[in-house]
Amino acid sequence: MKNIEELKLMREKVKQDLRLRSGQHRIKIVVGMGSCGIAAGAREVMNEFVTLIENSKRSDIIVTASGCFGFCAQEPMIHIYVEEQRPVTYRNVDIEAARLIFNEHVLNNRVVEQYLFSKGKK
């Protein structure tokens, strides 16, 4: 029999897991994964985001993939959707940029001008 503290911890963990999977999220990161994106290193970038999200212990952020965004020369590109805000698109996102954007934009809601492609609907 487990004690009450352990049970509480388990409950928190399951709740977090559930939220992660049931699509209840506040921030969505979409990585462009067309041929152009993959060739430019989008897989490393997506992996970095998965790791960053794991490390941040936030359960309201998800990362998914989409096809080509249509600006192949500027790949890897990402969209960031924050709830009730206009989406922001970044270009030439390498691993370093991914960390910067995650810390600034995703966690602190500050747009990173250096890699900015566009704000609002594309």
Partner 1 sequence: MKDLADHLFDILENSVNAGANEVIVKIAHTKSYFFCSISDNGKGINGQEVLDPFVTSRKTRRVGLGLPLLKRAVEDTCGYLKIMRIDESGGTALQFKMYLTHIDAKPLGDLSRTFSDIFFAWPELALKLFRIENDTEKLVLDFQELRIEIEKGQKDYSNIRKHIQEVSQKELRI
Which of 29, 34, 58, 76 forms a contact with partner 1 (CB under 8 A)? 34
Candidates 26, 25, 43; CA nearest to 34 is: 43
Told to check if 72 binds partner 1 by CB under 8 A, we report yes
Which of 67, 110, 114, 119 forms a contact with partner 1 (CB under 8 A)? 67
Cβ-count burial of 29 within 10 angstroms (0-12 exposed, 13-18 middle, 19+ buried)? buried
Amino acid identity at 107: L
Told to check if 118 binds partner 1 by CB under 8 A, we report no
Identity of the residue, 68 or 107, whose beta carbon is nearer to partner 1 in the bound complex: 68
Sheet with strand 116-119: strands edge to edge: 61-66, 27-32, 78-82, 88-90, 116-119
Told to check if 101 binds partner 1 by CB under 8 A, we report no
Omega cis (within 30) before 76: yes
Identity of the residue, 36 or 97, whose beta carbon is nearer to partner 1 in the bound complex: 36
Told to check if 24 binds partner 1 by CB under 8 A, we report no
Which of 11, 17, 86, 110 forms a contact with partner 1 (CB under 8 A)? 17
Token pair listed for 44 = 């490393």
Told to check if 63 binds partner 1 by CB under 8 A, we report yes
